[in-house]
Chain A
Amino acid sequence: MAPEATLPLTDRRPDSVICRRDGRAITAGALFAAAAALARRLPADGGAEGPAEGPAAAPRAINVCAGRDRMLVGFVAALLRGHATLLNADPAPERLRALAERHPGAYVLADAPVAGDPGLPVLQVPAVAPEAAAPGPLPRIPARRVVAIGFTSGSTGAPTEHRKPWEALVAAAQAAAERFGLDDPAAPASLVATVPPQHMYGFETTIMLPLWAPVAIQAGASFFPNDVLDALEGVPAPRVLVTTPLHLRALLAEGRAPALLAAVISATAPLGPGLAEAVERDWGAPMLEIYGATEAGSMASRRSLHEPDWLPYRGVGIGPDSARIPGLGEVALADLLEPQPDGRVRLLGRRADVIKLGGRRASLADLNRRLLEVEGVVDGAFVAPEDLAADPAARLMAFAVAPGRSAEAILAALRRTVEPLFLPRPLLLVPALPRDRLGKLSHPALAAMRHAAQKGG
């Protein structure tokens, strides 16, 4: 029998800088030392587990760390023990309990106190001691072992899981490093990111990339515009900002010039031409965009201002509605794509009914179903604004027919089953919906209602 294929855990030299916090450099060696120490404290194997999952009975780590240094330490520690990491940022006790129900034996890795009682073990990931010596040779990881599980949450309370084998994550990190010129050890880049490390895009760029490319990720706060601008000033060039259209819009509006940037990378939603142009003109940096999905990971990129079409990553093949991903095989996509003669692909739009907000997906049909489940609602429909893709701050609206109930009461009920992001703004009560004789709601009829509502105020 052929021996199981394995891949290294990292290709970083122990003395290279993998991370920075508060202006202090953390070497790969120090980070792995912290991970090895944490690995020894992780819960013992013991639950029930299928054979293809990794070592028999390996529990899973729910890594909710907000700091990218601790997220990295926790992820590597779990990796060293053969535990897959659940990519979930939400530390709410009910969410943690729900995950543990699906993954018996799961434990939480955190870098802040977890409120309430989630009913499962919570381990605090300690800070990395910068002077710690490298722990010696690191084990190789079975290439097909599932090491991370991403979630597409959509509008429902039961997210879909997407299992990531080590080889798929490594291939994607290497392809991204090559694509963005982040593979030169003589010119290591500093990455500052606004995306949570538990989002698949954030995980690939701020956890996997530092393990497989000569980059240093900034670990401190980088959410509000001034956090991000301060963080950029605090790291050495070349600097790369990893962000989203939503954050770019806020950053540009802040009006404060960022430190010199080598590149700006955006993903999660298509970037409007206005934002891309502003970045290239005002910041003097190439505006690059990644096309990806939680199921498939990053698949292609483009320079937004000059390239309408997307160039697939090395090894990735993109068809009309699916992609062939190294380490994953054929993955269905929620988008419609058109391969071009030059090897690039054109993004035609999302398949019917699926909408995307703030990097999260939901089905309008599913949202409608949840609205109709609210007591007293006899009819109702969610409507996506036309500029949903172009306006990063756009929200859904909804119409409801609910005699005797208030919009507030319906919203309060919806809040129990729908993620806050997808709650309608506004929810308007109407006497009836413009359904045709077949009971269908036509797009023009809904659009007319929306316009009337927005104009009438």
Chain B
Amino acid sequence: MTSGAPASETIAAPAALLPQELDLARLIVSVLSLEVAPEEIAPEAPLFNQGLGLDSIDALEIALAVSKTYDVKLRSDDERNHRIFASLRSLSAYIETHRAR
């Protein structure tokens, strides 16, 4: 997916994503129609607000896609929830430890 936007102002060279993080990044970009290349998502950057600028509607969409793709059910009564959603890396790590194989 490309847009008319030149990427000239994207400064930082993103840290390398692990293969499972790249898969998750692709999933998120695709279900949310984000204007960012999956490879460009910084693994440690916040997903919500300042980072990718996601909101609670996106959280629902991500929960749904994660459930379908990885069979991992996200719940908000989980005390660690805000940490799970903190970054691509933390979400991916959570999925990897809980996914049905």
Interface residues of A (CB under 8 A from B): 220-221, 223-227, 230, 246-247, 250, 253-254, 358, 392-393, 395, 405-409, 411, 415, 420-421, 423, 425-430, 457
CB distance from A113 to the nearest CB of B (A): 12
Are A408 and B75 closer than 8 Å at their CB atoms?
no
The residue on A at minimum CB distance from B32 is: A425
Q: Is B8's CB within 8 Å of the partner chain A? A: yes
The residue on B at minimum CB distance from A226 is: B73
Q: Is B13's CB within 8 Å of the partner chain A? A: no
Given contacts A406-B5, A406-B6, A408-B7, contact A221 B76 (CB under 8 A): yes
Are A408 and B9 closer than 8 Å at their CB atoms?
yes
Are A230 and B75 closer than 8 Å at their CB atoms?
yes
Q: Which of B55-101 contact A (CB under 8 A)?
A: 55-57, 59-61, 63-64, 67-68, 73-77
Chain A residues with CB below 8 A from B5, complex form: 406-408, 426-429
Chain A residues with CB below 8 A from B75, complex form: 221, 224, 226-227, 230
A253 to B67, CA, bound (A): 10
A sample of 20 cross-chain residue pairs with beta-carbon separation below 8 angstroms, ordered by A number, consists of A224-B60, A224-B74, A224-B75, A225-B67, A227-B75, A246-B57, A247-B60, A250-B64, A254-B67, A358-B55, A393-B57, A409-B9, A411-B35, A411-B53, A420-B53, A425-B33, A426-B3, A426-B5, A429-B4, A457-B2
Are B76 and A457 closer than 8 Å at their CB atoms?
no
The residue on A at minimum CB distance from B48 is: A420
A230 to B76, CA, bound (A): 11
- Contact partner of B63 (CB less than 8 A), chosen from A230, A250, A411, A415, is A250
The residue on B at minimum CB distance from A410 is: B5
Chain B residues with CB below 8 A from A253, complex form: 64, 68
CB-CB nearest 10 A-B residue pairs: A407-B5, A221-B77, A406-B9, A426-B35, A221-B76, A226-B73, A429-B4, A223-B76, A420-B55, A224-B63
- Contact partner of B34 (CB less than 8 A), chosen from A406, A409, A425, A429, is A425
Are A406 and B56 closer than 8 Å at their CB atoms?
no
A408 to B6, CA, bound (A): 9
Given contacts A225-B67, A247-B60, A408-B9, contact A395 B76 (CB under 8 A): no
A254 to B77, CA, bound (A): 18
CB distance from A426 to the nearest CB of B (A): 4
Q: Which of B19-58 contact A (CB under 8 A)?
A: 32-35, 49, 53-57
Interface secondary structure of B, over-half rule: loop
A60 to B35, CA, bound (A): 41
Chain A residues with CB below 8 A from B32, complex form: 425
Are A254 and B35 closer than 8 Å at their CB atoms?
no
A405 to B5, CA, bound (A): 9
Are A421 and B57 closer than 8 Å at their CB atoms?
yes
Are B77 and A227 closer than 8 Å at their CB atoms?
yes
The residue on A at minimum CB distance from B1 is: A457
The residue on B at minimum CB distance from A421 is: B55
Are B64 and A223 closer than 8 Å at their CB atoms?
no
Chain B residues with CB below 8 A from A428, complex form: 3-5
The residue on A at minimum CB distance from B5 is: A407
Are A415 and B4 closer than 8 Å at their CB atoms?
no
Are B35 and A226 closer than 8 Å at their CB atoms?
no
A283 to B91, CA, bound (A): 31
- Contact partner of B53 (CB less than 8 A), chosen from A224, A230, A423, is A423
A392 to B61, CA, bound (A): 11
Chain A residues with CB below 8 A from B8, complex form: 406
A250 to B33, CA, bound (A): 17
Are B35 and A425 closer than 8 Å at their CB atoms?
yes
Chain A residues with CB below 8 A from B3, complex form: 407, 426-429
Are B49 and A427 closer than 8 Å at their CB atoms?
no
